[in-house]
Amino acid sequence: MEYYAGIDVSLKESSVCIVDAKGKIVREVKVASEPETLVRYFDALELPVCRIGLEAGREDHHRDLVAGLHVAALPAIAQIDDGVAELDRP
């Protein structure tokens, strides 16, 4: 079975959620927002994660995380939150 990871990135700590192909949550954890910490977490996970999506704000901190995951050959992509919710738009 394939698994997917979503990471909500904050400056100090990031929330990681692992789901299976049906969308069922199989793991949730908070880890330090450091590339090395995330790489160690995924290396120890023992689940075949086929995609890692990071949701980040406007700050550039997520770039280091994505770069660190790529160096470790982990399939990471970033979604940048522009800070504007749909309800804020006219």
- Per-residue pLDDT of 49-84, as tens digits, reads 999 999 877 667 778 899 999 999 999 988 766 655
Task: Tell me which of 57 and 13 has the higher pLDDT.
Answer: 13
Count of domains for the chain: 1
Query: Who has greater pLDDT, 78 or 38?
Result: 38
Residue 88 is assigned to a structural domain of this protein: no
Q: Is residue 31 part of a domain?
A: yes
Which run of H or of E encompasses 31?
strand 25-32
90: in domain? no
Going by pLDDT thresholds of 50, 70 and 90, the confidence category of residue 31 is very high
Check which CATH number belongs to the domain holding 38 and give it. Answer: 3.30.420.40
Tokens of 9: 């990135």
Does any domain span residue 89?
no
Mean pLDDT, to the nearest integer, of 17-30?
Answer: 98
Containing structural domain, residue 32: 3-82
Q: What is the pTM of this model?
A: 0.83
Alpha helices in 1-90 (DSSP H): 35-45, 61-71
